[in-house]
Structure 1
């Protein structure tokens, strides 16, 4: 898969994390293409499970509005263990784990990347304290919202996959920062009511980033934390902050149409089709298409729920497909895959939806995860 740009949102002052240059898809050897095809074909035979965080929905709000919208709740530390947040991982298999991806992205002087992702010749600036470093060993990668703080404010209820995604979040440049190691250690797991960077000139930036990460991951704040964020934000420019929300909101639909379905045939199954074309933007936000099921006052089928999907796209490995149930829970039907260089999606997926109510609005969410080409969702059919 051609790696997409990692976008930094507006009003942060943070550098963009850029992916490697986009190249044309390589033609795989025949045996590899055959094996890849068998794997993809086999995938449709198995129940689909939730394996990664939901696709993001874009939210744009003035800073003080976003702070005001953070939900307040009592923090719960019970059961916390740092090992519950698996990091650092090498998500794209390029030999550089998350720590090194951040170091490479945030270097003010680009380092040379050697064997085993060793870095030399780089230069880094720690915005917490204004210090400059040339040895990567002097830098920690700070989880802007610490792992323990995330646990306290909602992550304890997440899946292991969601916690891993949070701990290795390269999708938003504000989530992770290369900073002086002992400064990061002094911050530890404290929130802004307990700790702020020593450089007062970056306090607005810090509050923007903290608020953005909490919003992105649907995390709560405690009352002292909310008070501090509100106080600092009151002295900052009330600029618009844009966040791709992973948890806490559904995907943004750029075009949708609802099709209503009722029970058909003697089996009592319910089927609906939405055949309205929806353009999939190149490396853009996910788009959705909706089917509303009516007249099925029962749970969805455990073994016979199927989702037929037809997407026209020149490089289907770029495309991920999610199914959202009426309660906004989601199922990963197809992940993006660098090994899949074929065109178009024309597949039927099977999902165990028995925990879901059949009636309601079901949404198919489709996203192009890389730049260079685009396509459209042609049609999809849901049988529950």
Structure 2
């Protein structure tokens, strides 16, 4: 794909020329994590970004598949799991004698043909909010996600068709009593897969969540929101002081730098170690577009990552090491991130500083 690339990286180039880079990158794979947050907090933490439908094709999401090879594909696995009366399972996964409740409209059905399997966050909506940057394998996994019961639901076919690819700003179940369940499950799926929301969607979710019980929602993340630092992060000698900021910050397209702050106080160490670690988790379709700076409490800065126009891989999930021994440990440490080219947006998921 050819993108218009308008560089904003003059400052970064100058810094490189001046020899200000003080780090060595050591990559470590991100691992999934369990996120548990009150509903309203989880809604608030959903990153906001403009939706992009360009290039969407339902065929880019391979479904339904028979993951475990038992003869029943994802559609039938959901029907079997969600049946209120267990069906008989015959040859070719033919179902008989079952009964189902469609929670969207409260209707009950005995014929599986009357039910669609709804992607709670529709495939097109997922594309708009992030899956367009995924691999084919990731899209297939999303389209057949049996790992979280909230991702797929057996519902009345014409109700599912009425919903289409609309988000909660545009469609909500007609049964008022299930709306809190619906927006909770929508938020959980978006969090599980690291998907963004647009402004209208965020506003709608916030409004609905305010009228719901603020129960804790637990999600096992697959991509994005909830990734935690790898266990192989370097540990400075002589004890450490650590801070983490897990509040998502949107990185605008070719815009001004955005910052996230970690304040360390009460650290008994006078100065950081010469091998301080900075774990950074950025979700972005082209990590080469992104530059990352660390600012110490005295405003001295360190270039953790400069832009690289030849790097077209996605995401920055890396532990950087820096010699911060000249700095004061306690105070406000800032991570500054900028998208130096036009054509896409992303967000900072979390970062951790160990000094």
TM over 0.5: yes
The answer to whether structure 1 residue 197 and structure 2 residue 149 are counterparts is no
**Unpaired segments of 5 or more residues in structure 2?**
1-28, 237-273, 284-312, 322-355
Backbone CA RMSD of aligned residues:
3.0
SS of the aligned residue for 1:79 comes to: coil
Cα separation, partners in 2 of 1:72 and 1:182, compared to 1, 3 Å:
same
Partner Cα distance (2:165, 2:124) in 1: 6
**Unpaired segments of 5 or more residues in structure 1?**
1-52, 262-293, 296-324, 330-354, 362-384
Residue number among 161, 167, 172 corresponding to 2:148 in the alignment: 172
SS of the aligned residue for 1:243 comes to: strand
Q: Post-superposition shift, 1:133? A: 0.2
Is the 8 Å Cα contact of residues 36 and 217 (structure 2) preserved in structure 1? yes
Q: Post-superposition shift, 1:176? A: 0.2
Cα separation, partners in 2 of 1:134 and 1:357, compared to 1, 3 Å:
closer
Q: Post-superposition shift, 1:57? A: 1.0
Residue number among 149, 155, 159 corresponding to 1:183 in the alignment: 159
Q: Post-superposition shift, 1:56? A: 2.7
Is the 8 Å Cα contact of residues 124 and 133 (structure 1) preserved in structure 2? yes
Residue number among 217, 222, 229 corresponding to 2:198 in the alignment: 222
Residue number among 76, 97, 117 corresponding to 1:121 in the alignment: 97
Is the 8 Å Cα contact of residues 212 and 241 (structure 1) preserved in structure 2? yes
Is the 8 Å Cα contact of residues 192 and 225 (structure 2) preserved in structure 1? no
Partner Cα distance (2:122, 2:106) in 1: 20
Is the 8 Å Cα contact of residues 85 and 164 (structure 1) preserved in structure 2? yes
Is the 8 Å Cα contact of residues 38 and 215 (structure 2) preserved in structure 1? yes
Q: Post-superposition shift, 1:153? A: 0.6
Q: Post-superposition shift, 1:252? A: 5.3
The equivalent residue for 1:270 is: none
The equivalent residue for 1:59 is: 35
The answer to whether structure 1 residue 93 and structure 2 residue 44 are counterparts is no
Cα separation, partners in 2 of 1:180 and 1:54, compared to 1, 3 Å:
farther
SS of the aligned residue for 1:215 comes to: helix
Partner Cα distance (2:143, 2:64) in 1: 8
The answer to whether structure 1 residue 241 and structure 2 residue 217 are counterparts is yes
Partner Cα distance (2:178, 2:318) in 1: 50
1:36-185 aligned at under 5 Å gives the runs 56-185=32-161
How many corresponding residue pairs? 224
Q: Post-superposition shift, 1:129? A: 0.3
SS of the aligned residue for 1:151 comes to: helix
Cα separation, partners in 2 of 1:193 and 1:96, compared to 1, 3 Å:
same
4+ residue segments displaced more than 2 Å:
53-56, 249-253, 255-261, 325-329, 355-361
Q: Which of 1 and 2 has higher RCO (CA within 8 Å, sep 6+)?
A: 2
1:278-297 aligned at under 5 Å gives the runs none
CA distances 1:181-222 after superposition (whole Å, capped 9, x unpaired): 000000000001110101011000000000000111111111
Is the 8 Å Cα contact of residues 128 and 199 (structure 1) preserved in structure 2? yes
CA distances 1:87-141 after superposition (whole Å, capped 9, x unpaired): 0011111111000000000000000111111100100000000000000000000
TM-score, structure 2 normalization: 0.58
Cα separation, partners in 2 of 1:130 and 1:327, compared to 1, 3 Å:
closer
CA distances 1:310-352 after superposition (whole Å, capped 9, x unpaired): xxxxxxxxxxxxxxx98689xxxxxxxxxxxxxxxxxxxxxxx
